[in-house]
Amino acid sequence: MIATQHALQVWCNVANITMTEVGDTQRNVGDFRFAFSSAVSDAGKWVWGWCSFPDSNASAADIWIAPAYDKFGGWSVYDYNFEHLMHEIGHGLGLKHPGNYNADGSGSDGPYLPANLDSTTYTIMSYNLSKYDFWDTSLQKYILVPHQTPMVYDIQAIQYLYGANNNYHTGNDTYIFDPSKPFYMSIWDAGGIDTIDVSDFKTNCTIDLTPGHYSSLLYNNQGTGSDGTGAYLYDGIDNLGIAFGAIIENVTAGSGNDTIIGNSANNIINGGAGNDTIYGGTGIDTIVFNGKEANYTITLFGTGFSTKDNVGSDGSDTVLNAAILQFTDHTLTFARTPDVNLLESYRFYKAAFDRTPDYGGLGYWYNNINHGAAVTSVANSFIGSDEFKKMYGDNPSDSTFVTELYQHAFGRTPDQNGYDFWVNDLKVETRAQVLTHFSESAEIIAKVAGIIANGIIYEAYAA
């Protein structure tokens, strides 16, 4: 009884369906009735049960089960009986087999799924089984790995027929997976800020947050399976689906060399230990690192950046299409295509100090310009800084100012014409204006072009 109630509920979880238990009389019957019947056994020893499609007849959607299966395994979500219950209920709700087959040997009406998708991996209405053999080290035998929920195409089909259950899992849910408990399941989640947590896994997992796609939480298995061929040896490939229309925002990965793929939300992704590859989606994604920023080497390349943890266990990660790097002490922003204000802020450091900006300082001046500060005001602050005075002197003459500016900005001594021009210009313009001219000069722009070709990283300033 409990298994039946649960199997009905898993369909209600994903679709706009409500099940109510009622008494059964000769005149009033429920839409579903469940019973054991020897007639099912007579149809063949491998026939678990049967169910007709819904219609107006009293017997429609009644589910008959071969009595032998009552004693064959249990009825929890970890048992095949439960998966078969979900399968038969699917028929009673109007779902057919995805291929041209039925239990009695007859054919099923089309349309059909392509052969490569006609599998219980994608729909529990299929007769083609996913890999199911898993070696249980405590029992010292192979156990079967059933499906605990309807799968991605089941959910899509049932929601097409009945609509989606938009009240299911609307809070901030965390889906935690256990490397000691093999599974197949799909997630339908109607709202909230949600997380997939595979932090206990040590294998090289693939976590794909794209709705309608599958993740592979890999399991270490052994042997050749119950049939001796290894054909059905469970490995965790495509064991976790995310339903179409379901948005999972965040990932906490394990210690393997994982591959993580974002979606349209603003994902927060913690790759954990190992050498991970992370593909951001179309949102503003945050990559979480488990150490201080100074412990990492960050390298920019054409489509993203790589990080190397020089102290801890985060490993060497490759990140594409993500905007924010969150360390335990600092949060940095990666601008793949810097805007005008960020470029101006960056070039002041190269012109005045001939160095790469520190992340915090660059973010500070970028914020100032974004909020209306004139570039000459920023230049004046650079000139008044201790760093500038140390390099140029406390009160340099115009001659010294121009000579040092050429040296730091362009890496050379001034040509005579240039020297004469800027020394004379200082009679009518301020040093801040001259520094701004140098910062915006074609020579400086060309000098930094190669350095920032792959983007700029800065620490956003919080006022």
Residue 240 sits in the same domain as residue 352: no
- Kindly state the helix (H) or strand (E) to which residue 36 belongs, with its residue range: strand 34-36
List pLDDT tens digits, range 254-298.
999 999 999 999 999 999 999 999 999 999 999 999 999 999 999
Q: How confident is the model at residue 50 (pLDDT cuts 50, 70, 90)?
A: confident
CATH number, residue 417: 1.10.3130
Decide if pLDDT at 128 tops 90: yes
Which of 28-32, 77-81, 313-317, 376-380 bottoms out in mean pLDDT, i.e. has the lowest?
28-32
CA distance 440 to 448: 11
pLDDT at residue 45 in the model: 57
Decide if pLDDT at 41 tops 70: no
Sign of CA dihedral 314, 320, 326, 329: positive
> Using the 8-state DSSP alphabet, how is residue 356 labeled?
P
Specify if 314 maps to a domain: no
Q: C-alpha distances in angstroms, 177 versus 41, 91, 133, 199, 352?
A: 37, 29, 19, 8, 53
The residue among 225, 248, 271 that closes a domain is 248
> How large is the average pLDDT for residues 193-214?
99
**Contact status, residue 19 vs residue 194, Cβ threshold 8 Å:** no
The residue among 248, 280, 312 that closes a domain is 248
Q: Residue 290: CB partners within 8 Å, gap ≥ 6?
A: 270, 272, 312, 313, 314, 328
Specify if 295 maps to a domain: no
% of the chain surpassing 90 pLDDT: 79
pLDDT at residue 55 in the model: 82
Residue 45 sits in the same domain as residue 161: yes
The residue among 248, 263, 286 that closes a domain is 248
Specify if 157 maps to a domain: yes
Q: Could you give the residue numbers annotated as active site?
A: 88
Helix (H, G, I), strand (E, B) or coil at 144: strand
Specify if 266 maps to a domain: no
Residue 27 sits in the same domain as residue 148: yes
Q: What single-letter amino acid sits at 324?
A: I
Q: How confident is the model at residue 97 (pLDDT cuts 50, 70, 90)?
A: very high
How far does CA 65 lie from the centroid of its chain? 40
Percent of the chain that is helix, strand, coil (3-state, to 5): 30, 20, 55
Residue 227 sits in the same domain as residue 79: yes
Q: HSE (CB half, 13 Å, CA atoms) of 49?
A: 30
Q: Please give the mean pLDDT across all residues of the chain.
A: 94
- Give the chain's largest Cα–Cα span: 110
Q: What single-letter amino acid sits at 15?
A: A
- Phi, psi (rounded to 5 degrees) for 442: -60, -35
CATH number, residue 242: 3.40.390.10
Specify if 412 maps to a domain: yes
Decide if pLDDT at 159 tops 70: yes
Residue with tokens 């209306």: 372
Residue with tokens 């300033």: 461
pLDDT at residue 215 in the model: 99
Specify if 180 maps to a domain: yes
Specify if 325 maps to a domain: no
> Using the 8-state DSSP alphabet, how is residue 440 labeled?
T
CA distance 324 to 333: 5
Specify if 407 maps to a domain: yes
Decide if pLDDT at 44 tops 60: no
Q: How confident is the model at residue 49 (pLDDT cuts 50, 70, 90)?
A: confident
Which of 33-37, 370-374, 385-389, 443-447 bottoms out in mean pLDDT, i.e. has the lowest?
33-37
Q: What single-letter amino acid sits at 254?
A: G
Split into its structural domains, the chain has a count of 2
Q: C-alpha distances in angstroms, 221 versus 73, 147, 235?
A: 22, 18, 6
Domain that holds residue 200: 2-106+119-248
pLDDT at residue 25 in the model: 78
Residue 239 sits in the same domain as residue 353: no
Residue 11 sits in the same domain as residue 155: yes
Q: Residue 52: CB partners within 8 Å, gap ≥ 6?
A: 59, 60, 61, 62, 91, 92
